[in-house]
Chains A and B, each alone.
Chain A
């Protein structure tokens, strides 16, 4: 089965901690950090790996500080085990 791996990169120094991305994520992947950036804002951070790369967070971010990547891994793992058996 194809597995979708989504990742986001947040430019934390330019994040303003508005939380719009937190609200928009269907998988609760984003939270607000306890620490602050140089501007004094508590910035957004990724807190789990359930991201599917749906881009919701990036669309609503007013400061365009989120980049989103998505990789679909199609190779099923059992195939590797078969290879081992043949050899």
Chain B
């Protein structure tokens, strides 16, 4: 680099010109996720909102079992680990002991929509005042790509090598639409993090959900349709294209339920 370019770099890269920086609510520990995995983006966006709202000392998260089992290593806030699928039950306990704290769970589709279906539905039905972040990558990521309740019809996984046959394996479970019907549920939205504009919308959704929790409106669910390049056996770019071409047409993005009068 020439001297002039260097000078320009020093001149531009100063605090007052900062447009984007890694939020302080993420630890310095490098995330173990595969290259291009949406888990990292989702962690980052959630933690940006926590930082911007200044609630890092007032929020407690519940980590799942799945690829994001180590979420507590990366999110620089108080965290509790739950057994597979039980995050909503653990979050219920935490919120009831500390009603003044913000409480969220962060769960994959295997965790939330398979082994944890009961805990999720009943927490929603009780109108627990928590935020549930639901990462829908259509597969069990951590255990190497078995079919999940959310796997698309015809989608290949290690346990549906010829594609999901809905006649024998059932149809994908649209958890968000299902939970939106329950009176205890205040806010349900489906977002994604595969493109910059979607990342911005997801951020707004998290901010809204935490605002509703502050006002005690009830259960809020933010589903994020995302990728699993490793188990889909794709490059990160191919996997994001699959999200656009296949996942989103089946799981359309947008608000599914908003609090009354919003």
Contacts and interface: CB of A to CB of B under 8 A. Distances in A.
B250 interface: no
Contacts of B235: 19
A67 B9 contact: no
A20 interface: yes
A31 interface: no
B31 A62 contact: yes
A71 interface: yes
A59 B9 CA distance: 21
Given A18-B236, A70-B17, A24 B41 contact: no
B36 A67 contact: no
B9 A7 contact: yes
Interface string B223-261: 000000000000111001000000000000000000000
B60 interface: no
A68 B30 CA distance: 19
Nearest to A63: B40
Contacts of B38: 62
Contact of A68 (B20, B33, B37, B39): B20
A60 B37 CA distance: 10
B53 interface: no
A24 B195 CA distance: 7
B116 to A, nearest CB: 24
Given A19-B236, A67-B20, A5 B35 contact: no
Contacts of A17: 35
Interface residues of B, number: 37
B20 A60 contact: no
Contact of A62 (B11, B13, B39, B195): B39
B12 A62 contact: no
B196 A24 contact: yes
Interface in A43-67: 49, 53, 55-56, 58-67
Contact of B21 (A59, A67, A70): A67
Contacts of A16: 34-36
Contact of B199 (A59, A68, A70): A59
Contacts of B12: 5-7, 69-71
Nearest to B193: A60
Interface string B1-33: 000010011011110011111110010001101
Contacts of A71: 11-12, 17
Contact of B194 (A6, A53, A56, A60): A60
7 contacts: A6-B19, A20-B36, A24-B195, A59-B20, A59-B196, A61-B41, A64-B44
Given A60-B194, A67-B22, 18 more contacts: A6-B12, A7-B9, A17-B35, A18-B35, A19-B36, A19-B237, A20-B36, A49-B5, A59-B196, A59-B199, A60-B193, A60-B199, A62-B41, A63-B31, A66-B20, A67-B13, A69-B13, A70-B19
